[in-house]
Amino acid sequence: MAKRFGGKYSKSVSVEVEVTDTTPPYRGPSVDPVGARSNLLFIPPIVLAATSLNDGAIGLATGLVGAGCLVLGAWLMRDGLRAEAAFNDRKLARRPAIPRKIFAAVATGLGVTIAAYRNDGNIFASGIYGAVATVLTLAAFGLDPMRDKGMAGIDAHAQDRVARAIEGAEAHVSAMQDAIKRTRIRALETRVERFAVTARDLFRTVEEDPRDLTSARKYLSVYLQGARDATVTFADLYARTGDDQAKADYLALLDDLEQNFAARTQKLLSDDRTDLTIEIDVLRDRLARENNRHS
């Protein structure tokens, strides 16, 4: 490190040293899979409800029912896109239990059918409009994932236990992200997001090998619950007082948590590699004995 030269004949000058942040780049925010296309689906129900206000009781009721179906379709489509994105991000994943995108297309088609029937009273023509709307919605947004991914050879019961543990851990992380927003400081929100990325690396590692759940259980429950409680307490305190010492203590806690979670992830990966090496060596020994016996 460079040191400023000085002596008894040198002027005392206050020098500000710029501290370089050596923190690894933030791998955080992912793009929300809910794009403008799905948000546009909320416009037709608003138009339908507005144009039904002067159509009398029956026309109003019919229009509102159709608008409700369209809103339901738009809402299901948003959830379906998020579920599909989560499915695609994971190496091992079960298909969504509810095919939300398909249900969304059906609800949209039903809403279009009701809206068309309200205008011309022809049920046959209205059904054609609804069928076309359903097909176009599926063509625009695609189908839900229909098959499990990477689940061959994975014990279903063990995977369900892991899924429940990960679901609880995700809830703790989401609570941390929600709580820190009360401070209204973007740097703190980004810091918590970065910890969330590190924690989710551990989640994905456990998901890929359910045997890791035993050694990671404390991290997924006790430590994350404590981190959630500390975040809630800090956010409430800092929002009221702006205590810089509390902020420093909280950031130090996040540093410790992030280091420990990253170390645990690397330990699990190292153990997995060791298990693979042992299995390969055992198989090679068996093959060698078979060759010697047949030679």
Q: Give tens-digit pLDDT for 217-276.
A: 888 888 999 999 999 999 999 888 888 898 999 999 999 999 989 988 888 877 656 656
> In this structure, what is the dihedral angle of CA atoms 247, 202, 222, 83, given to the nearest 10 degrees?
90
The tally of domains found in the chain comes to 2
Same domain, 253 and 172: yes
Give me the phi and psi of 149, to 5 degrees please. Answer: -120, 125
Same domain, 220 and 131: no
Q: What angle do CA 24, 16, 254 make, to 5 degrees?
A: 30
Same domain, 86 and 178: no
- Do 192 and 175 contact (CB within 8 A), yes or no? no
Same domain, 130 and 166: no
Q: What angle do CA 21, 229, 213 make, to 5 degrees?
A: 85
Instruction: List the domain range (segments joined by +) for residue 197.
Output: 156-294
- Do 261 and 198 contact (CB within 8 A), yes or no? yes
Specify the pTM.
0.59
Count Cβ atoms below 10 Å from residue 33 Cβ, excluding itself.
16
pLDDT tens digits, one per residue of 137-184: 999 998 888 887 665 656 667 677 887 888 888 899 999 999 999 988
Tell me which of 141, 164, 186 is where a domain ends.
141
Q: Residue 32's pLDDT is what?
A: 63
Q: Residue 218's pLDDT is what?
A: 87
